[in-house]
Amino acid sequence: MIRKRLTLLCALCYFSFAGLAQENILYQDIYSRDWFAVGVGSYGRIGVSGTTDAAGIDGRRLNLNNMGSIGGRMEEQDYLEAGVAFHMTPTDPGPDSLQVNVQLRTSIFSRSGSLFGNSNTTGENGLAIALPEMYVEAKNVITKDLNLWVGSRLYRGPDIHMADYWVFNDHSGQGFGIEYKNTRAAALFIASTDTTATVPPYFFINIKSGTPSLEIRNRQVYILEHDIRTPKGNLFSFLAEYHHIGDPTAVSDTTNAVLSAPGDSGFVFGARYQNNFKGMQEGSFNQLGVRYGRGIANGGDGGSSRTWETFGAVNTETFKFKNAYSWHIIDHFLLNFSNNFSLNGYAVYNRSKGAADGRGLSETYLGREVFNFKQDFTVGFKGVRYITDLFHLQAEAHYSQRQDGDQPWYRMGKLSIIPTLALRKERSVWSRPQLRFIYSMGIYNDFAQENLYSPFLELVGPRKVGHYFGIRAEWWTW
């Protein structure tokens, strides 16, 4: 007999282009039999907001552009994820028997940023629906701890939640994988129909049939990860990736080098260490991670850490990304000092360069220009004072700076005060659902003001100081 209460813990999807959050969902059974169970789970946030700088206008994120939620996530817009999981076992279950999970997940967000209650799927820039997860996973195949999966999956490790930033190993995508104890291997197939992108094109012109047509080609991402746990419970994680885009010259119109770019490749190496503090309240830790990417695997920009989002301009003579690189360094900690106070903090540094010679604006595919170099640095702290089981007072401070090419630095600082009702009455930074009363103030340097380098500044124009007020709810099944 299987247990009546089954749990499937998994990670949610990061859509950097929409600035969406992801959380862990716990699927709670709503129906079960001896061999079959159905579970449901959800994550979401919803509320209202505004700014005193533009009366009657919905609040905008104060963070710097091209950094997503790095710099604080309290101003994020409405978002919903809902999922269902089907769990099956063989007819002769044993302690190490085969288990099968089928998991589906949808995500919903507004393309215009308007409130959910004022949006629908038929309106212009209305609600968008995506399917970030649809996969089948088989556990204990042939032998104990041997797992296989196929499909589209949110496949990644921990995130910096207060910056809504999945770090180090965000391998969310469609493919297949195998896991055995502390080792994971996977292959992902990344493609896009965006013919205006400045990254290596996932399309080419096919003339083999005699009639030119636009064809899609995949980037294959091969991934290997391994964990080593120390006797004290600390964790070392190691990462290697190889990226490859096939060469279509056998069937493509080679006279159009822009649309039929040659094949290319790249690689990634990384390591992460998690120290679980034993002398403090349970749940205290520090995570330090370093990752290096080369060639077309130099991605990680705009609030995303995914390595296949290639950064910068191509070499317009070879149409390859040879010598492109990126560094990704993070530190994240949570210190639970007592039942009365917790301190959460992080630091993120990213540095990337494309394949063109210069650092400034460089020509790339389809005649477009992009910056060929960027670096950004952010540090943030959140203190949570558990005044009562129900009432928590949160305060956040963030500092961000970013440089595009050889331009001066864009800089901002942000302070947020968030009186919070933790409706489950748990003294934990992870307690949900929460009702939040939010006030944030952002302060910008002259260069950020002059270039309107923030969603808030794009709305109201040049400002030294910006304000955000909101009443918002967030929940997840935990």
The model's pLDDT over 132-166, given as tens digits with 9 standing for 90+, comes to 999 999 999 989 999 999 999 999 999 999 999 99
CB count within 10 Å of CB 365 equals 21
pLDDT at 333: 98
How buried is 441 (Cβ within 10 angstroms: 0-12 exposed, 13-18 middle, 19+ buried)?
A: middle
The rounded distance, in Å, linking the Cα atoms of 169 and 179 is 15
Helical (H) or strand (E) element with 460: helix 455-460
Identify which of 155, 145, 195, 202 has the alpha carbon closest to the alpha carbon of residue 176. Answer: 155
DSSP assignment letter at 161 = G
Mean pLDDT to the nearest integer, 286-293: 98
Mean pLDDT to the nearest integer, 187-212: 78
- Kindly state whether residue 36 falls inside one of the protein's structural domains: no
Is residue 176 within 8 A of residue 137, CB to CB? The reply is: no
- Kindly state whether residue 358 falls inside one of the protein's structural domains: yes
pLDDT at 332: 98
Q: How confident is the model at residue 34 (pLDDT cuts 50, 70, 90)?
A: low
| Residue 13 confidence (pLDDT) above 50 | no
The rounded distance, in Å, linking the Cα atoms of 75 and 442 is 12
The model's pLDDT over 349-367, given as tens digits with 9 standing for 90+, comes to 999 999 999 999 999 887 8
Is residue 198 within 8 A of residue 367, CB to CB? The reply is: no
Tokens representing residue 147 in the block: 């797992």
Residue 299 to residues 69, 290, 451: CA-CA distances in angstroms? 17, 14, 25
Tokens representing residue 368 in the block: 């477009």
Alpha carbon dihedral 223, 245, 376, 50, in 10-degree steps, equals -90
- Kindly state whether residue 463 falls inside one of the protein's structural domains: yes
pLDDT at 478: 52
- Kindly state whether residue 97 falls inside one of the protein's structural domains: no
The rounded distance, in Å, linking the Cα atoms of 394 and 416 is 8
| Residue 16 confidence (pLDDT) above 70 | no
Q: Any residues with CB less than 8 A from the CB of 370 and at least 6 apart, and which?
A: 198, 312, 313, 354, 361, 362, 364
pLDDT at 24: 47
| Residue 271 confidence (pLDDT) above 70 | yes
pLDDT at 25: 55
Which residue, chain included where needed, has tokens 């919070």? 420
- Kindly state whether residue 100 falls inside one of the protein's structural domains: no
116 φ/ψ angles, rounded to the nearest 5 degrees: -60, -40
Give the distance from CA 305 to its chain's centroid. 7
Identify which of 51, 70, 58 has the alpha carbon closest to the alpha carbon of residue 412. Answer: 70
Q: What percent of the chain has pLDDT over 90?
A: 70
Query: Which residue range(s) make up the domain with 289?
Result: 41-77+117-476
pLDDT at 11: 32
CATH number reported for the structural domain that contains residue 297 in this entry: 2.40.170.10
Total domains in the fold of the chain:
1
- Kindly state whether residue 12 falls inside one of the protein's structural domains: no
> What's this model's pTM, rounded to 2 decimal places?
0.89
Give the distance from CA 62 to its chain's centroid. 19
**How much of the chain is in helix, strand and coil states, percent to nearest 5?**
5, 50, 45
What sign does the CA torsion over 155, 156, 161, 163 have? negative
Is residue 115 within 8 A of residue 102, CB to CB? The reply is: no
The model's pLDDT over 59-111, given as tens digits with 9 standing for 90+, comes to 899 999 999 999 999 999 999 999 999 998 877 666 668 899 999 999 999 98
127 φ/ψ angles, rounded to the nearest 5 degrees: -70, 135
- Kindly state whether residue 103 falls inside one of the protein's structural domains: no
pLDDT at 22: 36
The rounded distance, in Å, linking the Cα atoms of 322 and 200 is 12
- Kindly state whether residue 472 falls inside one of the protein's structural domains: yes
pLDDT at 63: 98
Mean pLDDT to the nearest integer, 311-327: 94
Q: Which residue has the higher pLDDT, 159 or 202?
A: 159
The model's pLDDT over 225-237, given as tens digits with 9 standing for 90+, comes to 999 999 988 999 9
